[in-house]
């Protein structure tokens, strides 16, 4: 499946793994924080509107 | 203006803080270097210009968090901000006082510490010249950093993180002058660049420092 | 619409509500395009391009290294622009966008540095070389760290926005200075920016040019990274806006309750 990368297999695969891993971590972290903030805001807004 | 300068100098001398501590730190760093890299005099004389520049830079950095913090705590900074003196001038005077109490002693001490590290003879002149040109920039940049972090409780570490990258150009050209001078190469180009950076920072950065200070005093 | 009216329309997005509504509408497009482009570009580059005759298969690293390096710099430029907008026009969204972009820039810089190090190991025989380009990126990384640390350290968000904006301006000047200083200090191993030259001269160039075979998948990857950056910044700015609103609501609650 993977094309023959010759003697540089480790080099190429490691750099792909590191980069994609970092990007994925950034996206996951952003989305998790985004979800948390959004939920918290909605909770507070509901509480505020109930209390007037 | 002169009164403010004299007041700052007097305070620095009386408290003994920046004045002695910076020098002692510089001395200790220089003494520790042979312990960490080994006592071969040829190696030491090669790295001496760079080590002395780095030591001076760190000693300067060490004294920065006291630059504005004391005035901030006792409220005299608020007074200075409402005084008729423009804040840009205040900031410049503060930087000047810092240079006179920290930078200048470091410059004067550097040749003696150079002896400890086997600095080659032609290097002494260039070391002093480069430090003399470079330390004012370090004081002015440091004042900017101090103004940025003045209101923060644990500003010291953050201050180093902010200021050190700003020191890069000064360090590169300054250490380059000292290194080239020590090996007898021509020093004109880095010397001119160093002088240019110092002139530009001294002329322009006080405006940024004053702006930042105004935001912090709001 | 006249240009002035268009410009006015642009400023409408400085309204947080309007920004949130619009960004929510366009974000799916950016996400889908960016992921598609990156996947297509990487698969194309990884499976369907030949090895370089000098660099062997390591040339495939270019599809990550170059886009990340480009975005690392563009991210700082974007932060510079939004900081200026904040200082001049005091739009909160602008300051928050700068804050939201900084961590993305850090990750891009890290990717460029890490892939560079992994690539440099077989090519230059060393993981790290104090080469001007590598060194400049390391310095850029430090600037990002300082910028983020300052944001985190200050509690009042308007003060934080002001201070970080000034830091961004001053930092940009010093980053540029450092770039020249570092160039002077050490002429390096790294080849010049060959991508743009290849784009301009697609015909015969020097041996350093990136040939067409590599250029098109690389272009797709660059587009993907640009869109990913936009999507991430839009999303993260939305998060910052909500976080700011939470703070404001809690403060109001404390006053009234």
| One-character DSSP codes across B115-151 | HHTT--HHHHHHHHHHHHHHHHHHHHHHHHHHHHTTT
| CA-based radius of gyration for chain C | 21
pLDDT of residue B121: 86
C158 lies in a domain? Answer: yes
Query: Where are the domains positioned within chain B?
Result: 2-217
Q: Which residue has the higher pLDDT, C55 or C249?
A: C249
pLDDT of residue A35: 94
Overall size of chain B counted in residues: 218
C214 lies in a domain? Answer: yes
**Backbone φ and ψ of B154, nearest 5°:** -105, 60
Cβ contacts of residue C201 below 8 Å, gap of 6+?
C209
Distance CA A5, CA A15 (A): 13
C11 lies in a domain? Answer: no
Range from A10-14, B130-134, C2-6 that averages highest in pLDDT = B130-134
Looking at the partner chain, which of A11, A22, A34 has a beta carbon nearest the beta carbon of C118?
A: A11
Cβ contacts of residue C251 below 8 Å, gap of 6+?
none
Answer for the pair C257, C99: CB distance below 8 angstroms, yes or no: no
The count of other CB atoms within 10 Å of the CB of residue C227 is: 20
Answer yes or no: is pLDDT of C241 > 80: yes
Answer yes or no: is pLDDT of B15 > 70: no
Decide: residue B29, CB within 10 A, 0-12 exposed, 13-18 middle, 19+ buried. Answer: middle
The count of other CB atoms within 10 Å of the CB of residue B48 is: 26
Answer yes or no: is pLDDT of C172 > 80: yes
pLDDT of residue B16: 55
Answer for the pair C101, C78: CB distance below 8 angstroms, yes or no: yes
C230 lies in a domain? Answer: yes
Give the count of domains, chain C. Answer: 1
Distance CA B181, CA B170 (A): 16
Looking at the partner chain, which of C107, C121, C253 has a beta carbon nearest the beta carbon of A26?
A: C107
Sign of torsion, CA B95 B101 B102 B105? positive
Q: Do chains A and B touch (3 or more CB pairs under 8 A)?
A: no
Q: Do C242 and A27 touch (CB under 8 A)?
A: no
Domain of residue C47: give its range: 27-256
CB pairs under 8 A between B and C: 77
Closest to C194 (Cα-Cα) out of C38, C70, C44, C39: C70
Q: Do A19 and C122 touch (CB under 8 A)?
A: no
Q: What is the pLDDT of residues B155-203, one digit of tens each?
A: 788 999 999 999 999 999 999 899 888 888 888 888 999 999 999 999 9
pLDDT of residue C197: 45
Q: Does A8 touch chain C (CB under 8 A)?
A: yes
The mean pLDDT of B113-137, rounded to a whole number, is 91
Answer yes or no: is pLDDT of C232 > 60: yes
Question: pTM for this one?
Answer: 0.88
Decide: residue B17, CB within 10 A, 0-12 exposed, 13-18 middle, 19+ buried. Answer: middle
C5 lies in a domain? Answer: no
Buried b (16+ CB within 10 A) or exposed e, B59-80: bbbbbbbbbbbbbbeeeebeeb
pLDDT of residue B189: 86
C128 lies in a domain? Answer: yes
B18-22, B79-83, B97-101, range with the lowest pLDDT = B18-22
Answer yes or no: is pLDDT of C198 > 60: no
């Amino acid at each position: 499946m993977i094309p023959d990368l010759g003697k540089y297999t480790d080099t190429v695969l490691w750099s792909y793994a590191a980069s994609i891993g970092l990007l994925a971590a950034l996206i996951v972290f952003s989305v998790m924080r985004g979800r948390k903030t959004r939920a918290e805001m909605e909770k507070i807004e509901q509480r505020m509107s109930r209390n007037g | 203006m002169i009164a403010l300068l004299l007041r700052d100098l007097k305070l620095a001398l009386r408290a003994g803080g920046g004045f002695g501590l910076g020098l002692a730190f510089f001395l200790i760093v220089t003494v520790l270097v042979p312990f960490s890299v080994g006592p071969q005099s040829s190696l030491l004389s090669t790295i001496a210009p760079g080590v002395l520049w780095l030591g001076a830079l760190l000693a300067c950095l060490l004294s920065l968090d006291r630059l504005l913090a004391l005035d901030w705590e006792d409220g005299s900074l608020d007074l200075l901000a409402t005084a008729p003196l423009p804040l840009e001038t205040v900031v410049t005077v503060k930087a000047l006082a810092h240079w006179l109490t920290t930078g200048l002693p470091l410059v004067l001490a550097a040749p003696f510490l150079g002896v400890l590290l086997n600095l080659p003879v032609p290097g002494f002149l260039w070391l002093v010249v480069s430090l003399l040109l470079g330390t004012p920039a370090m004081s002015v940049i440091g004042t900017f950093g101090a103004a940025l972090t003045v209101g923060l409780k644990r500003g010291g570490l953050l201050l180093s993180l902010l200021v050190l990258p700003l020191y890069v150009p000064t360090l590169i050209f300054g250490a380059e002058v000292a290194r080239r001078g020590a090996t007898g190469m021509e020093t004109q180009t880095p010397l001119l660049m160093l002088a240019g950076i110092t002139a530009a920072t001294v002329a322009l950065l006080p405006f940024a420092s004053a702006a930042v200070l105004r935001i912090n005093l709001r | 619409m006249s240009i002035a009216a268009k410009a006015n329309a642009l400023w409408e997005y400085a309204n947080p509500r309007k920004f949130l509504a619009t960004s929510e509408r366009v974000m799916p497009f950016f996400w889908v395009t960016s992921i598609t482009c990156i996947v297509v570009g990487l698969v194309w580059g990884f499976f369907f391009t030949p090895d370089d005759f000098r660099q062997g298969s390591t040339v495939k690293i270019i599809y990550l290294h170059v886009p990340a390096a480009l975005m690392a710099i563009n991210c700082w430029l974007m932060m510079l622009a939004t900081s200026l907008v904040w200082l001049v026009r005091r739009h909160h969204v602008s300051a928050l966008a700068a804050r939201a972009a900084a961590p993305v820039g850090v990750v891009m810089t890290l990717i460029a540095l890490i892939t560079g190090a992994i690539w440099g190991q077989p090519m230059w025989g060393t993981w790290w070389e104090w080469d001007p380009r590598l060194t400049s990126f390391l310095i850029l990384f430090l600037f990002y760290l300082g910028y983020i640390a300052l944001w985190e350290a200050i509690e009042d968000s308007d003060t934080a926005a002001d201070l970080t904006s000034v830091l961004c301006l001053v930092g940009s000047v010093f980053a540029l200075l450092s770039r020249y200083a570092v160039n002077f200090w050490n002429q390096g191993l790294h080849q010049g920016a060959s991508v743009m030259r290849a784009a301009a001269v697609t015909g015969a160039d020097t041996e350093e040019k990136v040939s067409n075979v590599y250029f098109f998948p690389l272009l797709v990857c660059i587009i993907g990274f640009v869109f990913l950056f936009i999507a991430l910044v839009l999303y993260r700015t939305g998060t910052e806006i909500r976080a700011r609103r939470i703070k404001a609501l809690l403060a109001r609650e404390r006053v009234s309750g």
